Amino acid sequence: MRYALLLAVLIGIVAVDARAQDRQAEFNKPFPPHKVIGNVYYVGSEQLASYLITTPEGNILINSSFEPTVPVIRAAVEKLGFKFTDIKILLGSHAHGDHMEGDALVKDLTKAKVMAMEQDVPALRTMRPGGKEHPIDRVLHDGDEVELGGATLVAHKTAGHTEGCTTWTLRTQEGGKAYNVLISCSIGVNPGYVLVNNKDYPDIADDYVRSFTVMRSLPVDVFLGAHGSFYNLTEKYARLEKGGSPSPFIDPDGFKQYVDRSEKSFQARLAEQKKAAGK
């Protein structure tokens, strides 16, 4: 009986590990790297979005993703004809492993300066794949600018999803026109998020409300996000491949719909949890 129980436990562990490996492989499935607009390029996997901002003085990478995703990102950067070692600055969207776990590895490979929003720093410090310390070379605050080679990115704290969730904006040029690019952190409410009486994050609901207001205040021509699903990457890339103009990534209406949809979902979850808490 004891051996049978032990065998059952071992089988269960192997099954869980196999599912985790399958999930990791799914996250790291490559996606065709491509130019989005101007000096903005997509270099992420199919599910985890990463962006390369190119400049004459080196490049900026947004989102290292999981550590095992880093080789996928590197291959995408090099397929586009850029050197991975030309990355001088590494930014992130928020302190979840699927977006910033690979920071230490990217820094090891490129010597890039790693920058992160102040409120996400404590969570990032606990992110130590293989025991490596999470590097942070500059602590950012709401409204800070990151500059390199004529490119200026602005960090907007759009908290709720994490306490330091960061939405990035920049301006780029293409065809003699200027475009406002926005890379959304996340304004979604994950399963299990506690919006009412959250002892670890008391202001979570208020932060979400503020973030919806901030997002609506930002000028947007090109809408991107921490996950390609936020802005229908697969469908838009298919349209991009067919050619023509304007670029499918120019989608201010899609951005408004994304914010409206996210806020509606948040309000429904908040009302549900308030009711359950007797408020």
- Answer whether residue 18 shows pLDDT above 70: no
Mean pLDDT across 195-207: 97
Model pLDDT, residue 25? 73
Model pLDDT, residue 245? 80
Which domains does the chain show, CATH number per domain? 30-276 (3.60.15.10)
**Contacts of 241 by beta carbon, 8 Å cutoff, 6+ apart:** none
Confidence of residue 3 (pLDDT cuts 50, 70, 90): low
Mean pLDDT across 66-91: 98
Confidence of residue 55 (pLDDT cuts 50, 70, 90): very high
Mean pLDDT across 252-274: 98
- Answer whether residue 189 shows pLDDT above 70: yes
Confidence of residue 240 (pLDDT cuts 50, 70, 90): very high
- Answer whether residue 193 shows pLDDT above 50: yes
C-alpha span between 252 and 257 (Å, rounded): 9
**To which residue do tokens 């599912």 refer?**
19
Phi, psi of 167 (to 5 degrees): -100, 130
Reported as half-sphere exposure (CB side, CA atoms, 13 A), residue 21 has a value of 6
Confidence of residue 278 (pLDDT cuts 50, 70, 90): confident
Share of the chain above pLDDT 70, in %: 91
- Answer whether residue 13 shows pLDDT above 70: no
**Residues 131, 95, 114: CA angle, nearest 5 degrees:** 70
Model pLDDT, residue 10? 44
**Contacts of 166 by beta carbon, 8 Å cutoff, 6+ apart:** 91, 92, 93, 94, 116, 117, 120, 140, 155, 156, 157, 158, 185
Mean pLDDT across 130-155: 97
What is the rounded average pLDDT for all residues in the chain? 92
Mean pLDDT across 109-132: 97
Reported as half-sphere exposure (CB side, CA atoms, 13 A), residue 192 has a value of 0
